[in-house]
């Protein structure tokens, strides 16, 4: 895989931060837990804003990270290149997560030891590769960020992996994670987009990652998306409500 173009962490932050959507809890005055939200390969979707609202109601500050805006990746281009694996694979996009955490830790309203990350599909791939990359040359080469600290995920306590991609190109199941946040993986019964993922998740769990694998019976990929164009996707309000509850419980545990 070709290396990402080299840049500093500060430059990645400067590229991403203008496009962050930050949702704070109503009336919050002190530090709050932080939930960083990473969209799927199709780009930001309206339901992620709904998730951010739910996170804020549960007492956390949500940060929606748009990985496409500064890269000028349209939804059409995303389907043609990112969703096919030709561009911006999970280990490269891991640099966006590292940058978002670094930015969050600087904010006066953030509890720097109570950070969670939730990713949908490609966003989950990003989180898992971010946990698996080896510090040093591999991490710098994969992300394109040349001055990463020894542990750019410092403060990450929990993750939620929603219909995660864990197949070709993913590091899931292949090596131990550097740190082991408590994680929950949602696997949708009728997910015909990412393909089988449970085996890779179980291998990761066997390597010591504390992952709870939750089966969503009757659900498809992107079951929260009322506006999906893909015929393999069906909006499922009951599954979406269940995910809301899991998000709330994750925040309560931070």
Does 4 reside within a domain? Answer: no
Say if CB 102 and CB 10 are below 8 A apart: no
- Under the banding of pLDDT at 50, 70 and 90, the label for residue 124 is very high
Radius of gyration of the chain, Cα coordinates, nearest whole angstrom: 17
Cα–Cα separations (whole angstroms), residue 12 to 97, 143, 154, 230? 10, 10, 18, 32
Q: What is the CATH number of the domain that holds 188?
A: 3.40.50.1820
> What is the tally of structural domains in the chain?
1
Does 226 reside within a domain? Answer: yes
How far is residue 219's CA from residue 235's CA, in Å, rounded to a whole number?
Answer: 8
Q: What is the pTM of this model?
A: 0.97
* Segments forming the whole domain that contains residue 145: 9-253
Does 147 reside within a domain? Answer: yes
- pLDDT tens per residue, range 44-66: 999 999 999 999 999 999 999 99
Does 3 reside within a domain? Answer: no
Using a 10 angstrom Cβ sphere, with 0-12 exposed, 13-18 middle and 19 or more buried, the burial of residue 170 is buried
Quote the pLDDT of residue 3.
54
Quote the pLDDT of residue 200.
97
């Amino acid at each position: 895989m070709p290396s990402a173009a080299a840049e500093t962490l500060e430059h990645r932050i400067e590229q991403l931060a203008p496009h962050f959507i930050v949702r704070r809890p109503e009336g919050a005055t002190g530090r709050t837990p932080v939930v960083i939200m990473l969209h799927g390969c199709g780009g930001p979707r309206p339901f992620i804003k709904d998730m951010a609202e739910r996170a804020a109601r549960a007492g956390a500050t949500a940060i929606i990270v748009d990985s496409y805006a500064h890269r000028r990746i349209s939804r059409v281009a995303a389907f043609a290149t990112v969703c096919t694996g030709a561009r911006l694979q999970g280990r490269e996009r891991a640099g966006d997560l590292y940058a978002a955490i670094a930015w969050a830790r600087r904010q006066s309203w953030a509890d720097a030891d109570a950070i969670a990350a939730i990713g949908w599909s490609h966003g989950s791939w990003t989180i898992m590769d971010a946990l698996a990359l080896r510090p040093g040359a591999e991490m710098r080469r994969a992300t394109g960020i040349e001055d990463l600290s020894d542990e750019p995920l410092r403060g990450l306590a929990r993750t939620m992996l929603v219909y995660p991609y864990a197949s070709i190109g993913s590091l899931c199941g292949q090596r131990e994670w550097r740190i082991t946040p408590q994680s929950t993986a949602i696997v949708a019964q009728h997910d015909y987009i990412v393909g089988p993922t449970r085996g890779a998740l179980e291998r990761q769990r066997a390597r010591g990652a504390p992952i709870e694998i939750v089966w969503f019976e009757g659900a498809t990929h992107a079951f929260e998306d009322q506006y999906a164009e893909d015929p393999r996707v069906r909006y499922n309000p009951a599954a979406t409500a269940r995910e809301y509850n899991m998000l709330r419980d994750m925040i309560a545990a931070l």
